[in-house]
């Protein structure tokens, strides 16, 4: 079994503009989340606040630089993620294709390198 992070990117200008459209999107995501939970592959996931709420931290020459906003200028912003654990990349790609945001943005699938947490046995 391997873990994958499914990173949901979407142009924030295409986010639902009305309460009804937001409710419809939420219903779609709820159904998707229920489906992958039923498959037994869901390990976590969250939606993120818009990029206007982001703060970026860089350290250069020993100095900490803090700026408002995302790390890069791009139309598509990271809007949320799912953490899954499944048998192979093909299963992860199929799970990514089912994410509602894939219809209007993209989903980046990243394998996770297993690393023990402090205090865990290796």
Q: Please choose, from the candidates 3, 4, 7, 6, the residue with its C-alpha nearest in 3D space to the C-alpha of residue 79.
A: 7
Q: Is the pLDDT of residue 73 over 70?
A: no
Classify domain 2-111 by CATH architecture.
2-Layer Sandwich (3.30)
Q: What mean pLDDT do residues 86-113 have? A: 96
Q: What residues have CB less than 8 Å from 83, skipping those under 6 apart?
A: 3, 4, 5, 6, 42, 43, 44, 45, 112
- pLDDT tens, residue by residue, 79-92: 999 999 999 999 99
- pLDDT tens, residue by residue, 59-69: 999 999 998 87
Please report the pLDDT score of residue 88 as a whole number. 96
Compute the chain's Rg from CA coordinates: 17
Q: Domain ranges for the chain, please list them.
A: 2-111
Please report the pLDDT score of residue 76 as a whole number. 81
Tell me the pLDDT band of 119, cut-offs 50, 70 and 90.
confident
Query: Per residue, what are the HEC states of 47-78?
Result: ECCCHHHCEEEEEECCEEEEEECCCCCCCEEE
Residues 96, 45, 27, 16, Cα dihedral to 10° = -80
- pLDDT tens, residue by residue, 17-49: 999 999 999 999 999 999 999 999 999 999 999
Tell me the pLDDT band of 122, cut-offs 50, 70 and 90.
low
């Amino acid at each position: 079994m391997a873990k994958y992070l499914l990173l949901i990117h979407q142009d924030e200008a295409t986010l639902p503009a009305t309460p009804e459209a937001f409710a419809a999107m939420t219903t779609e995501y709820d159904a998707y989340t229920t489906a992958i939970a039923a498959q037994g592959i869901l390990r976590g996931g969250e939606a993120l606040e818009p990029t206007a709420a982001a703060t970026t931290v860089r350290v250069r020459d020993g100095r900490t630089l803090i700026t408002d906003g995302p790390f890069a200028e791009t139309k598509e912003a990271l809007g949320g993620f799912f953490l899954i654990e499944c048998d192979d990349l093909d299963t992860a790609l199929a799970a990514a294709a089912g994410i509602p945001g894939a219809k209007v943005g993209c989903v980046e699938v990243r394998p996770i390198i297993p690393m023990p947490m402090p205090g865990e046995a290796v």
